[in-house]
């Protein structure tokens, strides 16, 4: 049974790198870029099937890190059914400055897919990553690193994934990134 807490434990009190996806069901509060980076890298390293990311600009400090990229490449090689879907709200910076995740998507084929939400989508600045229907990292304001995460909270992941799927189905491939991927 999931342990949902009104007051998540501070990540500073936990060994994030030692936590296991689908097993450790503590909700934790995140405060720093390093904590967010550690959680997202752990999710990527432990993922067996799916990752879903809603982001403004695929933050390089989090998602353009070698450990994260290596884990995504490993996931792709381990399973032909693996999928990493990314809803990217603003691809201008990525198109101008580049991003190794976009480069990796060229080599991995359809494992990594980017889409841009429709213009009528009113984004409140949220960034979240879900993993294998059990893990999540959610930051209500993408401009800040404060948020919550859990390695085992299927209920919260189902809620986030429901909204993600609805938005994904209404979104289209990003034309700016498509040019970079060719």
CATH code: domain of residue 130: 3.30.870.10
Round to whole Å and give the CA distance between 102 and 181: 7
Residue 162 buriedness (CB in 10 A; 0-12 / 13-18 / 19+)? exposed
Q: Which residue has the higher pLDDT, 20 or 181?
A: 20
In a domain, 15, yes or no: no
In a domain, 24, yes or no: no
35 pLDDT more than 90: yes
In a domain, 22, yes or no: no
In a domain, 41, yes or no: yes
In a domain, 9, yes or no: no
Q: Which residues in 99-179 belong to E strands, given as ranges?
A: 112-116, 127-131, 135-139, 147-150, 172-173
What domain range is 129 assigned to?
30-181
Q: What is the model's pTM?
A: 0.90
Span 64-109, pLDDT tens digits: 999 999 999 999 999 888 999 999 988 877 777 778 888 888 888 7
* DSSP H or E segment with residue 9: strand 9-10
In a domain, 45, yes or no: yes
Q: Is 125 left (phi over 0), alpha (psi -120 to 50) or beta?
A: left
Report the number of distinct structural domains present in the chain: 1
Round to whole Å and give the CA distance between 179 and 175: 6
Span 108-139, pLDDT tens digits: 878 899 999 988 886 668 999 999 999 999 99
Question: How distant, in Å, are the alpha carbons of 13, 21, 31, 36 from that of 176?
Answer: 42, 34, 32, 27
């Amino acid at each position: 049974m999931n342990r949902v807490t009104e007051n998540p434990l501070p990540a500073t009190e936990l060994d994030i790198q030692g936590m296991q996806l689908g097993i450790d069901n503590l909700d934790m509060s995140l405060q720093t870029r390093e904590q967010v980076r550690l959680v997202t890298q752990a999710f990527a390293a432990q993922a067996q099937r799916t990752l879903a990311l809603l982001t403004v600009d695929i933050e390089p400090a989090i998602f353009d890190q070698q450990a994260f990229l290596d884990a995504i490449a490993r996931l792709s090689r381990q399973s032909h059914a693996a999928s990493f879907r990314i809803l990217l709200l603003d691809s201008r910076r990525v198109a101008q400055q580049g991003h190794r995740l976009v480069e990796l998507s060229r080599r991995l084929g359809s494992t990594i897919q980017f889409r841009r939400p429709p213009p009528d989508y009113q984004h409140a600045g949220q960034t979240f990553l879900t993993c294998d229907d059990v893990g999540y990292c959610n930051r209500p304001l993408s401009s800040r690193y404060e948020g919550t995460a859990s390695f085992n909270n299927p209920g919260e992941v189902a809620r986030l994934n429901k909204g993600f799927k609805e938005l994904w189905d209404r979104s289209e491939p990003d034309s700016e990134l498509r040019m970079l991927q060719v």
